[in-house]
Chain A
Amino acid sequence: MLKSKTFVKKTRSGGVVKIVREHYLRDDIWCGSEACNECKQESTVLQKDACIESNLCSFPHYLVPDTNVVLHQIDVLEDPVIRNVIILQTVLQEVRHRSAPVYKRLKDVIHEKEKFFYTFTNEHHRETFIEREPGETANDRNDRAIRVAAKWYSQHLKSDKNGLQVVLLTNDQGNKNKAEESGLLVYRCEEYIKSLIANPELVDRLALSNDDKNEVTSSKVLYPEHLPLSKIQTGIKSGSFIQGTFRASRDNYLEATVFIQKEGDDSTEVLIQGLQHLNRAVHQDVVAVQLLPQNQWVAPSSVVLQDDGAAKDDSVEEGEEEKALRISAAEAARKPTGKVVGIIKRNWRPFCGMLNVSQIKESTRHLFTPADRRIPRIRIETRQASSLVGNRIMVAIDGWPKDSRYPNGHFVRSLGGAGEKETEEEVLLLEHDVPHQAFSQAVLSFLPKLPWAITKEDLAKREDLRQLTVCSVDPPGCTDIDDALHCRELENGNLEVGVHIADVSHFIRPGNALDKEAANRGTTVYMCGKRIDMVPELLSSNLCSLRSNVERFAFSCIWEMNHEAKILKTRFTKSVINSKASLTYAEAQMRIDDVNKNDDITKSLRGLNKLAKILKRGRIEKGALTLSSLEVRFHIDSETHDPIDLQTKELMETNSMVEEFMLLANISVAQKIYDEFSECALLRKHPAPPPSNYEILLKAAKSKNVEIHTDSAKALADSLDMARVDHFPYFNTLLRILATRCMMQAVYFCSGMDSDFHHYGLASSIYTHFTSPIRRYSDIIVHRLLAVAIGADSTYPDLMDKHKQSALCNNLNYRHKMAQYAQRASVAFHTQLFFKSRGIINEEGYVLFVRKNAIIVLIPKFGLEGTVFFDRKDKNNPNLVFDEEGPTPKVEQHTFHIFDKVKVTVSLDDTNIQHQKIRMALTDPVIPGVSVPPPDVEPQAKKPKLDR
């Protein structure tokens, strides 16, 4: 079947080692075209009538892009319009070496069936393989290989009746000329895209390439040249440069810090000030900095500077603003200052933001302002500016030449009108790096086929618990039910308690596309009124969800307890259950309280509740913290999906009942998997906060003459319980809110990589997440570990590799953090929507923190926090005296303390459409020049309009 020819390829690498490799050239690599009769291929990818309507090519044609076109114009290639493309192996390999993200995107496109992308293995083909000639560079050789392959295709397809042709796309002039000489049809990428009929918007997606001659080039060089990588590396080695992550300042576009990770955990910062020194670094880039001599060191300025010179262009007079920065600072405040000498790795991603339309009407160049203030503005070229105004759009940076004030970029896509709910939600997700695209076909292909039923084989492997009175208790409207409970009395008088968790790991097998996608997403993200699933809906809301009266697979953790809630026996098993009822917290509470009810479910619930109370008491005695944070819940209008009311979440006994058993299950499982796999168990820890974290709490408590002990979790818990002030019942809650802010973040880790397992908040020596595998990937891994531990499933190499586990934990921690931020941002956005419709409201609140020039006020009714500034831009600043000891700011005659009760007005500040925010203003106490008069209009007046 194959006629192979052996020959030898020699390459010299590094030293003087000669590498000899065989290379088999084949004649059984087919062209992949439907129109071809010669090739004996089984299936074809490229269509017979490949039609993209174009002015340049009126005949059907296939596109052959070269490497640079793929690297720079991947946004264009991804567009559904572009189809029937031949990706040569040479190109694929070069892309793989040059850019991993582009390579991944290219592979995704190739896998997409609708796009008709074909990979032609030209390097192994007998007629298209070429050897590097003496004196030829690797790049030239690859260019030639691309031309030879394109030539081969055009010869090969010559016999086609429809006049099918091959079009080579290249931006390299030399390559183009050579291709034309050999009789190939060749176009520049821009040329070709512009010729496409009916798709003018594609032009905007074209990335600006460096050799684009019509660039706005002011002759003036604005930035110093970046050093080449080799020089940077020697510099870093010799210690003259330092490598670090560039973090732009949110408030001042002329200032940034570079974080330098040293050995161990400690890190230092270097301050960078001024455009010249920032030298085109963008937030999150990895850069090399050089420290300035000590006499040029400066202090970070406290000035807020926003780059808002809309009319300014490259010829900006930057001098004045920079001078404003250099106000001579006190010697002591000076910090190590440096300048960026080179970029080690760019970390550009597509940015969300809005377009500032150029004043010149006909201009096609516009500035783009990203939503993230740390990202500089980007210059893009578009012909559809007028239709993009007021929209949120995405833009990618292409490059930042040294003679350009702003980086150059290109338009990627429009997200929708600014201020609209869908658009803003999309922006939130994108800015927090939450993967939220629909699941790809590859992922969906691993779902079980419907109709799905439990088979005999399944039953044989699992314990049949269908007869048990299992029920689930969840918040209202929950469709991804991942836990259910039961409790019954055994014959020996003891109680049997079971926690049944959805068996997601049965459906998600390690290593397949579904698993990889879930591992990448890491967690389900709950936005207000919207859920971004970690696993496809079929699993999350149906097959895995432990709904009532259907048979479902579960992973059960079953304890035998005595009536004092002492665990006598623990057992884990894969099972089949049939939940008898899915209740809400309120429903469950009503059943427990209703003395007339005496059915099995109610009895089971009462048993659970009784045990939970004992467990909770035990836990608190051990020093578990009960902290507080206000969570709000929106009542969302079912028609318009606008929030109509806001309510802080209420906690019932049943909440804590479910929580108690979940904690117990998690701890039991953590112990089991750690005993079994001491090196690779996935656990969760919550480090004790350093004492300095508690300072705010201690000072605040002292102001009310309350003593808080922070020596241990137990001491803290006890002193929080004792902390009460007469006539101020809310004080305790406020204190707990403050205490929450002092805590560290709980994180996942791999047991083989760490020695400190303690969970501070729960006062448990070991902890993990087992109970929500539908919405957390960590739980899936824990399920797999536990399944192996009890012999119910087989293991796989990655599960036992502590380094891979640890990498996975890092991703999960990152995703969890981002999901939390996104959720908070979503709540903030809905709060804004809510206040937008309410107008100005006068509310009571408490001072939570004090700052030099502001107080932060919490309004318990809405769970809303806001800042009240004392100084204003337009008026004369009031007389401010700040006492560091308290800390208490004194404004005019009034002194503010933490926990003071104040009255504020709340309204929406939408002067800046990109950054809408809640504005609070003081009404009581009345301080001239600071407070505002309470609104005369009763907010209720506006209500009828809302009810509709």
Chain B
Amino acid sequence: MSDTHVDIDEDALSAEVSKLDTIPESPDEYGTRQRARRTPGGSAMSVLRWAWYSLTSMRTALILLFLLALASVPGSILPQRGGSDPLRVSDYYAKHPTLAPILDHLGLFNVFGSAWFAAIYLLLFISLAGCVLPRSRRHLRAMRLRPPAAPRNISRLPVSTSWHTDQSPDDALGRAHELLRRKHFRADRADNVDSRADRADNVDSRADRADNVDFRADRADTVDSRADRGTGPTSSVNAEKGHLRETGNLLFHVSLLVVLVGIALTSVFGFTGSALVKEHDGFTDTTIDYDSFSPGRFVNIDKLPPFSFTLNKFEATYQRGGPANGDANSFAANVSWQPSLGAPPRDYTIEVNHPLSTQGTNVYLANHGYAPHFIVRDGSGHSFDETVPFIPQPGTSQYDGVVKLPDAKPQQLGITGIFLPTASANPVNGMPTSIFPAPDNPAVVIGVFSGDLGLNSGLPQSVYALDTAKMSRIATTTLRPGDTLTLPNGAGTVTFVGYDQWAAFNITHDPGKPVVFGAVCATVLGLVMSLAIRRRRLWVRASRDDSGRTLVEVGGLTRTDASGGFEDEFKRLVTALQSVVPPTAQDG
């Protein structure tokens, strides 16, 4: 390879490589990539290769990342089925009857579960993997390389200095070498190396070129200045520091991949469900005890963790007085629980930020409310004891619910009720209303219906709604604890005995969580490393000049110094070097 050849090659390469500055791939490979990208070619193989190189380029990864951000925008603006309030989707349908079905068809009410959202992040995953894994391999190789030889003309490096010293070149280099090693540089002594020969070696070594992408800048200088200096052998210390920058960079990107793996683990092996439990009632971790349950694909629903618990008491405290009157201060569900059947029960308090954890499964407090206790006697004298959870109405401190008595005689009975923890007459219309969420003055407003509950129609019915199509209202009243309502026409009586509280729990098993957690920690570590560390090279050359004195030249180079500061470090290093290799007096 002739010198001229090398020059052109280097210029072209540095222009090309600088486009992909943060991807130090080997120039040869990069050339192949460029060719493959430009020409999809005719054969199936070359089309595939073109597709692969395009997909794994950083530009594609960036575009996919932006697409992911863009795709999540509608998910934050439009109501989502999986969101905190799924009812808002039906509200949206009611308000925009023509637009809503179109949006729904595009998956915009379930953005984060939609196929196109999955397509973006899967492509991103592949793109990232295809870029980062080969790059990690190259980095591992580069980590084992020694620092490259000193450029011929150190004074043309971006930062450099020189001074005369009374020490011999050998002595000076020895001290410089020791100092740089002490400062954790990877430092080598290169004695009596012919620069020209060395340079040719360097350019030929492919691995070294891959490694040198960060330092591309030095080449042109080195080549330009060849004529400036003699070609005799010289001795130098070649030092390098900051491989951890790329290590951190790769750690960050690989960790992102691991995060996605963890998420996938959970969606396959995890499950999530919810259960509403009244005071004094129990919950056992079997599918029948869940109100809703969504297992991952490979969850064995017959072998759920065998824990169980009983809700002993639910306690809530509220802000009294002041501008935040009625805001909740604390919620606590006192439970006794057993990790498995037959184990001794233990007491625990589940709070909002304090879940119960056992066997990789967590039980979170999600909601709470009141369950009024009724004793209903029907026309035939048969009595029913019902404690029914009432559901909180958003924006109020009222709780709605229904009681269904399909076995009541002579006709089925149904009760719609509103539980008022602190009942008071509405100042405007005199209607009973609740003015505070704590049960200071509990009352229940009920409407009693008789007729056909419609349970045999075959259609599924909500337990929280009464279908009154085939029923007639026979009574409406407000009851306080202990009050009894006598129904007309000998239909029976309804007694409001009192109330219990209930708590709703989210129960999740998330096997990918430790993976995700570990990976995100590594992400931050990698980020800090890659942003805070700079990779730099330093060369010290000592030689006898024409007058026979020892000339020490020091030069430094960095490319990944986006936030600056290398000059200061260089100054400090020079000061340190001059303390072990002092300049001769007249040099000052």
* Pairing of A with B: no
